Structure 1
Amino acid sequence: MTFLVGENGSGKSTLIEALAVAAGLNPEGGSRHFRFTTRSTESELGGALTVSRAPGRERSSFFLRAETFYNVASEIEARELELAPYGGVSLHERSHGQSFLDLLTHRFRPNGLYLLDEPEAALSPQGQLAALTRIDQLTRGGSQFLIATHSPILPALPGARILQIDADGGLHTVAYDDCLPVRATREFLADPAATLRHLL
């Protein structure tokens, strides 16, 4: 379980996307069996990376990017895929957050490789806690996750590795209490009025 944190524009999403492409996943999201393009915007970094895995390491894989999940849901319907792995209901008939949780609950399985780009974009704080619980179950079942996030909740998963990209592009491991999303959230919640006086 690895979380990637950093400010907007630091390269988190580019790195997750490149790893997904190098692992043979569709750049817009989905599994290895998804091959569709709404608009090709991926970087060339994926073609320069080599991802090595032990033989038989994963039985399932999926790339989830918040910004293109609507397109993935549309592709599932267009291909008339079996909906049971997605909760038994069209992902378009659920809220964005419910669809994400359905994906985690029904499509993601043990011994999988899952690359998630800002999954918290669709999730309430309670939804993030539900996602964290499911991610923990899956990692205990042998799954590997790499998640780019701005959430102060998700990286709290015990045993998770947190990699932070700094403003200068440096990448290093940080403790939960020291990662950017946690520090910024705590500073704001400690005294919202003072923060707003400073900003406004």
Structure 2
Amino acid sequence: MFLKRISLLRDKVLSFHEYPFSIPIIKHLHELNIESNVTFFVGENGSGKSTLLEAIADRCDFHTAGGGRHNMYEVYASEAALGEYIRLSWLPKVTNGFFMRAESFFNFASHIDNVDTVGFKDYGGRSLHQQSHGESFLSLFLHRFQGKAIYLLDEPEAALSPTKQLAFLKIIHDLHSGGDAQFIISTHSPILLGYPYADIFSFDYGQISKIEFEGTEHYQITKAFLENREKVLSELFRED
């Protein structure tokens, strides 16, 4: 494990009433200790998990629209508002890695089309635009993810079917087992959250707290729906 701690430089913050410091979990953040090579961030939309992950990517000098340290391209709204206000503590520090965000993956794929000179060897031998959305995600994970590195992934399940999510779990396991990879993943997927060697941090209720898999809403709601689909839908569609 490389990244050990994320600290908010609170003395640099001018106001906790302005974005992104007005987000409850940021407002209350002092330090977040990372104790597993695989860490998940979970929470409702707007809870701040992607904001913090983007700030970590910024401090790692990864492109905040997606990419590594050497992927340089222009894209609208890729600046990390929180980046300069956090400190990362490493042991040892690594400079290799990747920040993947599902919502701007198209821009990254276009960048690779513009700069590739080696036949897309890091992406399965084909342009990412010539693969399906799910295939392009898995090509990135399979071929570019290697060596001693940290991988920051924002909703990687967005283009993955349940079967491909399981395939991605196998990729995580293979890299994790080798001892050279660290993952921090923001996700809504109960399948990914089921990875057995991970820590899960919830960003709900105004503060970051460690939670068990079975304690996540993702697990509880999915389990309730699968076991009692008719009852859940009946209550959902009931007219008051």
With structure 1 as the length reference, what TM-score do the two structures score? Answer: 0.94
2:185 pairs with one of 123, 133, 147 = 147
Aligned to 2:57: 20
The whole-number CA distance in structure 2 between the counterparts of 1:101 and 1:59 is 23
Q: Which amino acid aligns with 2:102?
A: A
Farther off after superposition, 103-112 or 122-131: 103-112
Runs of 4+ in structure 1 off by over 6 angstroms are none
Q: Secondary structure at the match of 1:153?
A: helix
Q: Which runs of 5 or more residues in structure 2 are unaligned?
A: 1-37
Query: Highest Rg: 1 or 2?
Result: 2
Aligned to 2:116: 80
Aligned to 1:106: 143
Aligned to 2:200: 162
1:21-100 → structure 2 map (5 Å cutoff): 21-55=58-92, 57-58=93-94, 60-82=96-118, 83-100=120-137
CA shift, 1:41, in A, is: 4.7
RMSD between superposed Cα atoms in Å: 1.4
Contact 2:64/2:80 (8 A) holds in 1 = no
Q: Secondary structure at the match of 2:232?
A: helix
Q: Secondary structure at the match of 1:184?
A: helix
The whole-number CA distance in structure 1 between the counterparts of 2:232 and 2:117 is 49
Q: Which runs of 5 or more residues in structure 1 are unaligned?
A: none
C-alpha distance after superposition, 1:84-140 (max 9, x if no partner): 011111000111110111111100013210000000000000000000000111111
Matched, 1:7 2:44: yes
Q: Secondary structure at the match of 2:45?
A: coil
CA shift, 1:58, in A, is: 3.4
Q: Secondary structure at the match of 1:64?
A: strand
Q: Secondary structure at the match of 2:202?
A: strand
The whole-number CA distance in structure 1 between the counterparts of 2:96 and 2:49 is 23
CA shift, 1:81, in A, is: 4.3
The whole-number CA distance in structure 2 between the counterparts of 1:41 and 1:65 is 11
Distance change >3 Å, CA 43–CA 59, structure 1 → 2 = closer
Q: Which amino acid aligns with 2:128?
A: L
Q: Secondary structure at the match of 2:88?
A: coil
Contact 2:60/2:95 (8 A) holds in 1 = no
With structure 2 as the length reference, what TM-score do the two structures score? Answer: 0.79
Contact 2:69/2:96 (8 A) holds in 1 = no
